[in-house]
Structure 1
Amino acid sequence: MKTKLFLLFAGLLLSVVAFSQENIEEVRVSPPEFAGFKGAALLINEANVELQSLNDYVIKRLEYPTTDAQDFREGKEVIQFTVQPDGTLSNFVVINSVSSAMDEEVIRVLRTTSGLWKPGCNNREAVAMDKEFAVTFKLAESSDLKSQATNYFIKGNKQLLLKQNPKRAIRHFNRGIVLLPNEKCLLLARGMSRYEVGDKEGACRDWNRIKALGGFESDELLDNYCEMSGYADMLKTVKE
């Protein structure tokens, strides 16, 4: 009797699994890609399309702003934009700025790629998707941005942890992030410093940036000081 019940249960379980698999539709999402030629948007579902390098395209056309070169200003620009279903670009947002002149120069060159993109797809249908592009401005090959950023990180930690001066620590972390905008340690530390001086919004931006980069280092801070406290503030408002 027990054997028959077990076999019946197993059969029902397999039936449920099979039924579930039959009714689950596979969702396929592909990001936008730079093709480098007009009409690329018409080839959204073509797999064998020869793509150009966006980095090579931009570097060949990018000019170092004269004022920044004279001031020995270096760092990494990060620009976000939206690739529309027709392959054109819109909604340019500066994620990390070295200078306003560099912002304008990178965006100027990126605008020339409008219409040269394969758009992102959701189940083989073209949809608008965000894309990020990063480019480093360096005056000499011998310039070591990582070492410079590490030095700013050490100085910032000294101000934050030893001298308990988060305001001054932010200045050092800012300089480091200009050089390495996706360095999670710098973002984490700057977020903590911002929170200490009362800039909760700025702190949460830094910690959410870490999450967007695929890091988990800021999850606890987000839970304790961003999402949960925000929910508590909302409840307080409702009660009032």
Structure 2
Amino acid sequence: MNFKAPSVCSFVLSIALTLCTFLSLAQINLNGAYVATRISYQNGSELQDDNLLKFTYVKYTFSKGNQIGISGVYYENGSPFSFSINGDLLLVKSSAGAVINTMKILEYTGNKLVVVNGSANGTLDDPFAIKYTLYKEEYIQRKMPLSSNDIFTVKKTDTVFKSGQKVYAQFRGPSFQNYMYEKVRNKTPDVKSGALISTFIVDERGHADSLRIIEGINPKYDAEYLKAFKTAKNMWQPAQINGKAVKVLMNQRLRYFTSEQTLPSYFHGQKANIAFKNQDYETALFYYDQALENRRDEVEHLYRRGICKQMLGNLEGACADWTEIRALGNHEADELLQKYCK
């Protein structure tokens, strides 16, 4: 039997490719927002539909001072952490500097970032570790078509767009939701339940105005909300379309629940989640029904109950739950709606 040694050319080529990969990772300069367009296993296989990660919205926002925000909604940057890059590893750290998550960078090309999160046993090389394929948010937005549904009003040459993943104004802070909760909560400690829904417009200068309270809680709370809103008027980065600043209609929903509403929903939800994880969809469906009796707007429960119904052959019921999520102003189930509920 004859063995053929690898040629010098192939050896040199292998070294060159390895060196190029090393150099490209060494030149990583993470800045701006990256959004996951695909979440899969590292070996390339698809996640199952009942794996919540498959359709989860994930956004990493990198900013000055090696800060990273991790968010599950498009309109927020998420809680800030620090990060560092060590070779091909992306290390996410707490405020105290402790490493709380380690990801392996597989690919980086400026607009594209591919990372692997550790598997259940923490191994980054596990074929079933979770792989995130992310693209620059502005790159994705340019690729998304603009439709008539993205427009709120048109008056002569003045157009106001509706907020969505394609176009939205960015609050200059981790979370506008938390900002308003904290500002109003201290002034209205007596509010235990209810919901406030508002809309407002952020103009081309990043100035928020034209506030409308669509649904209020009570006169005192609504007045304090208005005061808090005014303090955040100039804390916005304007929406853009193709690099041009535009006006956009934003909305917000603040909700409060009593312990009588929250506790039963929580405990039933915990039982449902355990059954769901064990793929016992009949038991999970029973407990999600119980949980949603007390808190009908719990998105995670609606999402998973829809999965249970789908797995049990009730696609119409699943679509109803996922449609209800969209009606709450949440887009977490949009991919499922598009895939199964046309």
Shorter-chain TM-score bucket reads 0.3 to 0.5
Structure number with bigger Rg = 1
The structure whose residues are more often helix, as a share, is 1
The structure whose residues are more often strand, as a share, is 2
